[in-house]
Structure 1
């Protein structure tokens, strides 16, 4: 796992490194500039004319150092100082002095006529106010220049100027980047949309922040990478089907058997030993044909005692895909919540019914994972979708803390919270915007929970795995051609490898 930080968290790490660990700010600045130059040299040509636009803060100092290093290595690099000289930081003043001593060219006016590569060192992670003039006009001018020719490149220093490093939202306007080189740790605003798109391809560079600085100033946020697949539950030779969890999937309604199939199938694929599906009679034959390895029970034959036996049998419940929101289903869910003690993954129509029956939270006993998309989250919280998207992390954290649940807030950039921590997902793609994808996720999380994973870990690893499966499916079938069937195939491929 890798830390994902806010602007203030990164500032605290930076300050501790400088003041307590004794690593000078100029040393960190030099390392940052050098790491950026190394990344740029992989994608630029010697003949390219490069302009570094620099602000008054240390982000501007980084930009000046980038120009000086490139110039020293024979590239045609120049500087344009956009910030007020009276507000230059001491480090930026020093970098300008060194650059002038070396002979790096400076522009007195912003002229992009012959520029092919632009380095954005205007604002850094400290920006919290709306971008004002003259910077607004400057950013719009650069964006227009970038958009005229595909071969032009913009490289952002740490974060694109005008982007909130915490929420990924534009602060008035954003200087759109093709590449962003961010230092130390990934920033939340570069993972969350629209920031992820505005930042382009992102590189995280270690410029020498000691591990102790993150221990002293820990971040609530984190993300997963390929090596984190090692966290998945290990299977043992000396085991049986009961070892890997018994999942009760309460899903489906008439003409909605697919939701039950996808949830049950994906639970099996991630390793569940046994899966029972409780669904209407209309789905029995279909599911027995599609998923013969699952046990099928139907509501029409389920009385109070048989329901109690099923709930006692299960290690985890997956509830909601395709069940509808009828009054009789509401009564059934209340009985299920009251009669069960095991973990619950609540999805889809289960969430819509919960939004109508807030008193049910008292029955969930801190053992429930909610998996709302933005529309369902809006119904659960009473907030508009625009309000939720303005700060996805804050929304998930708040619901998890207030309701004592795990929140998987599904979106183009999904976040998961237990009320204390935030997982930011970086896997997945727009091809996963297809019917049944959420049902697959519910089954994946339920399968991991049933195998003994803690609720929070089952939730964030399920999201990570589900998105990785979508990426594998897109690589094989393309974005337009993939459906939830292909996502499950991607899941099988990921787990095999």
Structure 2
């Protein structure tokens, strides 16, 4: 688990490190520049010509220090100071003095054609307003320069200038970086789209913020790393099929058997011991042929008295994939919700029904995970999709807090919140924009939640594993041609790799 920070959180960690722990700001700045110089030295041949475009703040000071270090390593490195000299911070003034003493060339005019690499050190993580002239013109020139000839690169210091470090939104215009070297912790805006596209390849460098600084200034956001992912439940040799969760999947309707199949199949692939599908009679033969290991019940054979027996059997319940929204289904779901005592994963048509039956919020069980995509979230909240996308983490957190549930807000950059913490997912790819992918996710989450895993971390782990399965499928099948079944196969491969 790794921290993901907002600009405010990063500033608090930075200030605590300097003021309370006594590590000088110039030391952190020098370490930041050294870490970035090491990456550049490893990637760029000695004849590379580098221009560091530096603003007045400490981000610019990092850029000046980088220019000097690369110059001292034999690179043709130079500086262009952007902005008002009267606004230079004390640290930036000091770095400029050192660079001038060292003999680093300094340009008074932004002439980029003579260079192979530009370093963006204009704005840091504190930018919150729209980029103003002349900075917007310089940023547009940098992007045009980058696309004008092959092999040109832009490296961003800490964050690409023009991005909101909290939301990933472009504040008027933003530098399109090929590489970003960020310091201390990853910023939210580098994970969320469109910021992820503008950040290029990202490196997170430890420049000396002690663990105590993070402990004293904890962050709301976190992410998982492939190398240290240990969220899947343990399995023991002395066990049986009842040891690994019993899942009730309420899914499917006439001509919609696939949703039930994908969700139930994914649950098995994610480690569930037993799965029972509750669906309509029309799906009986189809599902028993496709997934014979799953038990099956049909609405036509069950009275309301039988609902309690089904829900008491389950360790986790999925409601929604492909069930439809007709009045009869609404009555069935309304009758089932109050008697569920285990974790509930509410998805798809379950969410569509919830959006038109607001009184159901009071009937939901104690542990609820909802998995809306942006359209479903818009129906639940009444907030337009573009507004949701502009600050998805905060919107998910607010909704989870308001309704005391866990919100998995699905999109190109999925976030999960319990109303207090926010998980930022970094796995997955555009090939997962395919029918049935969401149904697969519900099955994965249910499998993890059914074995006693904390529901919030079960949701986070499920999203992570879902994306990992998608990444495997993209590699095996291509992102254009993959299907949700390929994602399920990918999940099995990923878990095999984790076990090994």
Superposition TM-score tier, normalisation by shorter sequence: over 0.9
Matches within 5 A, 1:279-358: 279-358=279-358
For the pair 1:210 / 2:204, whether they are aligned, the reply is no
SS in 1 for 2:229: helix
Q: Is the 8 A contact 2:337 2:365 kept in 1?
A: no
Q: Deviations over 1:211-237 (max 9, x none)?
A: 000000100000001244322100011
Partner residue in 2 for 1:89: 89
Give, in whole Å, the separation in 2 of the partners of 1:34 and 1:228.
26
Distance (whole Å) between structure 1 residues aligned to residue 132 and residue 49 of structure 2? 28
Q: What residue number does 1:231 align with?
A: 231
Kindly report which structure 2 residues correspond to 1:399-418, keeping only aligned pairs within 5 A, or say none.
Answer: 399-418=399-418
Superposition pairs of residues 219-298 of structure 1, within 5 angstroms: 219-298=219-298
Superposition pairs of residues 115-194 of structure 1, within 5 angstroms: 115-194=115-194
What SS does the corresponding residue of 1:231 show, helix, strand or coil? coil
Q: 1:15 to 1:46 in 2, by over 3 A?
A: same
1:27-79 CA distance string (max 9 Å, x none): 00000001001111222121221100000000000000000000000000000
Any idea what the Cα deviations from partners look like across 1:428-486, whole Å, max 9, x if unmatched?
00000000000000000011111111110110000000001100111111111110010
Quick one: distance in 2 between partners of 1:227 and 1:318? Answer: 30
**Deviates most, 104-113 or 362-371:** 362-371
The CA deviation at 1:172 is 1.0
Write the distance in 2 (CA, Å) between the matches of 1:190 and 1:442. 27
Counterpart in the other structure of 2:195? 195
Match of 1:396 in 2: 396
**How far is 1:294 from its partner?**
0.3
Aligned residue for 2:450? 450
Q: How many residues align?
A: 497
* Paired residue secondary structure (2:93): helix
Is 1:359 aligned to residue 359 of structure 2?
Answer: yes
Tell me the distance in 1 between the aligned counterparts of 2:342 and 2:275.
15
CA distance in 1, matches of 2:364, 2:441: 20
1:6 matched residue in structure 2: 6
Q: Which residue does the alignment assign to 2:432?
A: 432
Distance, in Å, in 2 between the alignment partners of 1:397 and 1:150 is 42
TM-score of the aligned structures, taking structure 1 as reference length? 0.99
Q: Distance in 1 between matches of 2:70 and 2:486?
A: 46
Deviations 1:382-426 (A, max 9, x none): 000000000010010000000100000000000000000000000
**CA root-mean-square deviation:** 0.8
What's the TM-score once normalised by structure 2's chain length? 0.99
Aligned to 2:25: 25
Where in structure 2 are there 5+ consecutive unaligned residues?
A: none
Q: Equivalences for 1:65-84 in 2 at 5 Å?
A: 65-84=65-84
Secondary structure at 2:43 match in 1:
coil
Contact 2:347 2:370 in 1 (8 A): yes
Deviations 1:224-254 (A, max 9, x none): 0124432210001111111111100000011
Q: Which residue of 2 aligns with 1:463?
A: 463
**CA offset digits 1:314-339 (Å, max 9, x no partner):** 11101100111111110011011022
Q: Which moved more, 1:480-489 or 1:360-369?
A: 360-369
Distance (whole Å) between structure 2 residues aligned to residue 308 and residue 365 of structure 1: 14
Question: Structure 1 stretches (4+) deviating beyond 4 angstroms?
Answer: none
Mean CA deviation greater in 89-98 or 219-228? 219-228
Q: Structure 1: which 5+ runs fail to align? A: none
User: 1:114 Cα shift?
Assistant: 1.3
Name the counterpart of 2:380: 380
Larger CA deviation: 224-233 vs 476-485: 224-233
Residues 342 and 365 of structure 2 are in contact (CA less than 8 Å); yes or no, is this contact kept in structure 1? no
